[in-house]
Every structure is written in structure tokens, then in C-alpha cells.
Structure 1
């Protein structure tokens, strides 16, 4: 004769609250909203568009894009179809994350042409006089730019060579740097590296801002080189070319 024994285990133990069906639906809906918003943000960055530019292309308010990307709201079915049609996006990917982002591979996108000034050398040292504006064009694919700097800029870029060792190990002599032009940012970022002119000479240095004493320090990464400072009233001698985004050496 066999003897069977069993123990019943209640999932609803005293003091333990189980998720209701409504809880699970709410949780699933929230996660889906966040995921769609993340994919919209990924798409927008892939296209190199600001929230304002993205919104304009689909006839929506900029605040709507911001709320989607933050997961506070989710676009309705008709808006998802509009996004898919406008940007040639795989609607299934947009909704669920399955499949490829684009209906056609984005590698077919037209390359971004960036001017390269081989003679306008940036000094990582004592300063070099700017003697020429001759340049030629370098084409960079959106895929490569996204991989290198995490965003696609279609305007406001230039390539400049660096001479000297004052910015080593960050930038070596002979490097070619990609610069985001000042007129496209108009915002000095503390700790970033900038290309600039002082009294006609070209430099590349790291910028440190002291808002209390109203002083900007132009600093070399190489400790063997000294820094120099300028007060606010002296800054009319400085013309900022732009922020250094990345060393392109070895990319081409």
C-alpha cells in the first residue's frame, strides 16, 4: 500500500501582496510606453535630428516628443504609422523592437561632407599662425559618425590637424580632430577641448571656467606644459573655432 503525502503552499501568504491582473496590465503598459519612447529616441538620434526637428517633420509639438522619450506618454497607432512612413521605419520594430530599424538599410544614406583644412594647423604648443583657408571635402557616413560620437551632425563640422605634444596623451602631434563649430553650439562646456584663435594664432587646449573670479584657463593635458589664463575683459582677443569631438586619426 502506497502512502501519499502533500503540502499545500499558498501564494497569498499573510502580509504578502500579490500582483492583481490590473497591476500586471498597468506594469506591462508602462514598460511598453517606455520601450517605444526609447526606440523613438534611438531613431531620432540615428537620424541626427533634434526633438524640435523630429516634431516638425511629423507635425507634432516638441513637448510630445519629450514626453514619449521620457516614457510619460505613448504615441497612438496613427502616429506610429506616420513615424514609420515619414522615416521609412519598420513599424514592427517601432512597436515591439523586433526586426530591423529601417525598411531599407540606412547604409544607403548620403554621406555627410565635412571640410578638411590641412594647412590650418592647431597648435598643441606655443601657437601657430593661420596662413591658409584651402580645404577639400571628406565624406563621412552617418553610421560611422554615430559609432564614433554617438550622434549624427549634418552641419557645423570641420576637420583640422594638430601639431605639437602639449595635449598628449589625449591628442598626439599629427592627429586630425573633428570640431563642432562654435556658431552651432554657442555654449562653452567646462572641461571640454576647444580649437581657438588668440591674436591670429591657432591653438587647441582644454578649457576650465572659474565663474567666481571670471577667469578662463586654457590648459594643456601634458603636465610638461604650462597653462595660461584670461580674464573676461581679455576675451575679445579670443575667437573660438569650436569644440573638439574626437581624434579621427586611424579612422581613414
Structure 2
């Protein structure tokens, strides 16, 4: 396997902690380490703590700027930094905000997404990118259509969703974007999640009382899970 950025699994939960190891080895704070590369340097802390994925372009910038050993990021072994390049803390200047530091907005309906993809947004093109600090650790923004989740979410509102890596930890009663496999009909839906008496199952429930009846699926059928962190209401002016 080549010792390049292409050899690194950027979705691995070990990448963030390894970046933190490198930063600590250089004796740098989060602000000092990430400010030359990211306007919102606090996103670096989110990456290190696996609350935000490291994008390929940002990974390339970090590796080149500090001459980081890609093999260390990939395996956790070997030199962390191949050659420390000179830098001056007093002259750090923020770079312009890059798309990977923002969150993409996809103007799509859930029915347009494909449940069989490893990432349901991978084949959609963002309409634009949103830079709103409280939601900058989210995965995507997308609109809500229909009224099954009324009054929690109104038709036309935009929700901010964040991918969940540990699906064993669920905030019961909160709204999630749920993606399932073919055993659960490749369903992609926004629902409130509730505990089932059978630990191997989970309850999906609409917030609109007009949509009565729960949907019960096997936990194992959930292939992707996104918590809804917030929403944006658009007024028609």
C-alpha cells in the first residue's frame, strides 16, 4: 500500500486521536495547530474527538503543511512528522473558509436518496454550503417535506443532521434521520425513536398525532443514523 493520503481511511475513528497525538508532539494548542488551515479552528477539536469527519482536502492540507507522515495516520506507527517545517505562532493567519469547513445543503427529498449507498448523500450535489458555528459539526442540511413530523418539523423547514457512529447510544424521544437495509424495505425516514421492550428492536414514531401507529424495526436493519440537531424555518416573503 502506498504511503500517500489515498492510503488513509479518513472515516476511521483513529484518525482524530492520531492528529491530536501529532499536535501534542509539536507542543501546539488547537488554535495554533489549525488556524493556518481552517478559519473555524475549533472544528479541529471536533475532528480530534471524532465529532466531525476529516475531509480529504483538509487532510491533504494538514499533511503538507506539517509534513506529517501519512503512514502514522494510517497505522499509528512510525515517525509522526517526517520533517518539522519552521512556523511562527505570532504570524498565524486564518485561511478563507473552505467548503469542507462548512456543512453542505442538499435540496433533495428523502425519496431521492438511495438507502443502499454507504453514505446517502454521496451521490447528491450540494446547492451551497452553510457556515453556522453551532451546527458546523453536522453532516448535512436538507429540507423537510410532508407533515408527518408536525409540529416538530413543518413542511419546508430545513433540518441539520449529524451522523451517529455508535448506534447503541440513542437519545430516546429525539428525532433522527433513519436509513435501513432491504429487510426494512430500504426505508429512509425522519422519525422520533423510542425504546422497544425487545432490546433488538426499535420504535419509529411520527410526531403528528394524525399519523397513528408505530413502526417497529430490528436495530440491525439500521445502516445509517443521523440525529437532528436543529432546524431552520424559512419565511415566504
TM-score norm. by structure 2 comes to 0.49
Q: Which has the higher helix share?
A: 1
TM-score, normalised relative to structure 1 = 0.47
